Amino acid sequence: MLRSLSIRDFVIVDALELEFTSAFTVFTGETGAGKSILIDALALALGSRGDASVVREGAGKTDISAEFSTSAEADAWLANNEFTIEEGGVLLRRLIDNAGRSKAYINGVTATASQLRELGAMLVDIHGQHAHQSLLKSDAQRVLLDSQAGLTGEVRALGLTYKAWRALAKQREEFETNAKNVLLERERLEWQVAELEKLAAKPGEWSDISNEHSRLSHAANLIEGAQEALNLISEAESGPMLSQLTSLTIKLGKLADIDEGLKPVLDVLEPARIQLQEAVYSLNTYLDRLELDPARLKQVESRLEAIHSTARKFHVTPDELPQELETLAAQLRQLADASDLEALRAQEQKLKKVYLDAAQKLSQARANAAKVLGASVTTAMQELSMAGGRFEIALTPCEPTANGVEQIEFLVAGHAGTIPRPLAKVASGGELARISLAISVITSTATATPTLIFDEVDSGIGGGVAEVVGRLLKRLGQERQVLCVTHLPQVASQANHHFQVSKHSTGEKTISRIDLLNTKSRVEEVARMLGGIEITATTRKHARELLAL
């Protein structure tokens, strides 16, 4: 359930803090006051797309927070996605700055917009004011039926199977039409793989062998230089550096006993003597392992040339040769599998059977769900002044697709004695709005979503039908939290809680505000909805009567 909504600098909203309770709540106000801004702000907190245009003019960023009480399902999602779990609730927050950059948080932890959407789907179900228009599209009808029947996962799995089957069929078709080309490609790959396997270049080998070549090819210079350094330090006839430094430190040590002023100099020279001694050890070790090896140099040069020429032939760097072998070998294995036409056909038929079996189960589940949903909407139509009307869902067989083996189409008969025909062809604007509302209410009842939002889904409805709609929403509010943006007094009067949205100008700014109405102010608002700008005693009386009902 939505507990609270905080909005800062959103479109024409300066600052807004709203607290919500359960049951049926309506939002009303004059046209253009921004009734749907509340829904748009909540949609952003739930992960919908947003850009810099939502930031109030003159502000740096939009800040929207929505707090919900959670279900076991939502708490499990939070735990699985490593978000902190607050006792009995969750806080969703969305920031969008005036450069269009967006940030999202769940219980104070950074999240992605897709994570907001995934969690939000467990918390809120929004039925937009243009929902009835999407009902005219075949894809929307299919998605609605599958969602109502809880078949979304099965449809997704079927789509993956279909994709794998068709990919294999395409591979088989290409092989049949390009068998000669496939054979030539296989021979080319076999030759390339054989050459690379013979070379057997290992990861990191190029760097290692290049370093070894450099060392071997400069061995004479390296020996000469190292020996010269060793002579200067410890073996020179004119007095090696190490001996001179040792004598000097001994002499200064004796003098430092006389005058401590020489001790700092001695402290500097002694480490230098030790370092020179270490250098002698290191040079001796280096010269012991360094030797002229013309035979090994010749081997290394031959290996370098083989690796370099092969890399040039394959248009890669020497370091990339091991990866090139893996890539070409994988291509060869794939081509070898594909070149077995009979095996390919058998594999294709196996995948086709898996698809058709799954599609048949999906078709049966859809047929069962279509009967239930059709009967439920038909019953609701009777309440919405469409006596004798019928709603059916036709499942027409079609060629296999990622979504199954049938086309789904909503059919309606507006009156008794008429044959149900496609919704798009027979429903008037008012009938379409009523059918859409009936479907919205019924599908919402079948889901576990705790908060339902209806954004002007009652457009095109009036009179006694509007009163029935209000009763339907109120009845729904006994089981769920229902929020509804409406322009109908008959709907507004049925609500347990009533907010009024208004727009005010302050200097050059236009600000939207929302107020929770008490009994007296609610009479005034319903009277305004009934009578327009001029509110009379009669409209107030009528408003009180509606509210009393």
Question: What is the full DSSP assignment across 451-475?
Answer: EEEEESTTTT--HHHHHHHHHHHHH
Q: Are strands 497-506 and 24-28 parallel, antiparallel or unpaired?
A: parallel
pLDDT level of residue 290 (50, 70, 90 thresholds): low
CA-based Rg of the chain, rounded to a whole angstrom? 40
List, in order, residues 6 or more apart from 127 with CB less than 8 Å away.
Answer: 440, 444, 452, 453, 454, 455, 457
Please give the average per-residue pLDDT across 484-506, as a whole number: 88
Pull the structure tokens for residue 505: 């100008």
Average per-residue pLDDT in the chain?
85
Residue 502 has pLDDT above 70, yes or no: yes
Label residue 501 exposed, middle or buried (CB < 10 Å: 0-12, 13-18, 19+).
buried
Return the bridge partners of 393, or none: 410
CB 127 within 8 A of CB 455: yes
Homologous superfamily in CATH for domain 1-124+494-516: P-loop containing nucleotide triphosphate hydrolases (3.40.50.300)
Work out the number of other CB atoms within 10 angstroms of the CB of residue 107: 15
DSSP state at residue 51: -
What pLDDT, on the 0 to 100 scale, is given for residue 37? 82
Please give the average per-residue pLDDT across 383-409, as a whole number: 91
Select the more confidently predicted residue: 347 or 440.
347
Please give the average per-residue pLDDT across 180-195, as a whole number: 84
For residue 395, the Cα-to-chain-centroid distance in whole angstroms is 32
Q: What is the pLDDT of residues 400-451, one digit of tens each?
A: 999 999 999 999 887 888 888 888 776 566 677 677 777 877 877 666 678 8
What share of the chain has pLDDT > 90, as a percent?
30
Please give the average per-residue pLDDT across 47-56, as a whole number: 90
Select the more confidently predicted residue: 213 or 226.
213
Mean pLDDT lowest for which of 47-61, 261-275, 329-343, 471-485? 329-343
Work out the number of other CB atoms within 10 angstroms of the CB of residue 73: 12
CA dist 45 → 33, 88, 97, 117, 173 (Å): 21, 19, 14, 9, 49
Measured over the CA atoms of residue 220, residue 226, residue 232 and residue 234, the dihedral's sign is negative
Of 474, 441, 458, nearest to 148 by C-alpha is: 441
Length of the chain as a residue count: 549
Residue 219 has pLDDT above 70, yes or no: no
Please give the average per-residue pLDDT across 285-312, as a whole number: 80
Domain ranges for the chain, please list them: 1-124+494-516, 199-332
What pLDDT, on the 0 to 100 scale, is given for residue 292? 63
What pLDDT, on the 0 to 100 scale, is given for residue 404? 95
Residue 339 has pLDDT above 70, yes or no: no
Tokens 């109030």 — which residue? 56
Q: How far apart are CA 12 and CA 243, in angstroms?
A: 88
In degrees and rounded to multiples of 5, residue 171 shows phi and psi of: -65, -45
What pLDDT, on the 0 to 100 scale, is given for residue 132? 58
Return the bridge partners of 510, or none: 505
pLDDT level of residue 39 (50, 70, 90 thresholds): confident
Q: What is the pLDDT of residues 524-545, one digit of tens each?
A: 999 988 886 678 888 888 889 8
Instruction: Give the 3-state secondary structure percentages of the chain, helix then strand then coil, rounded to 5.
Output: 60, 20, 20
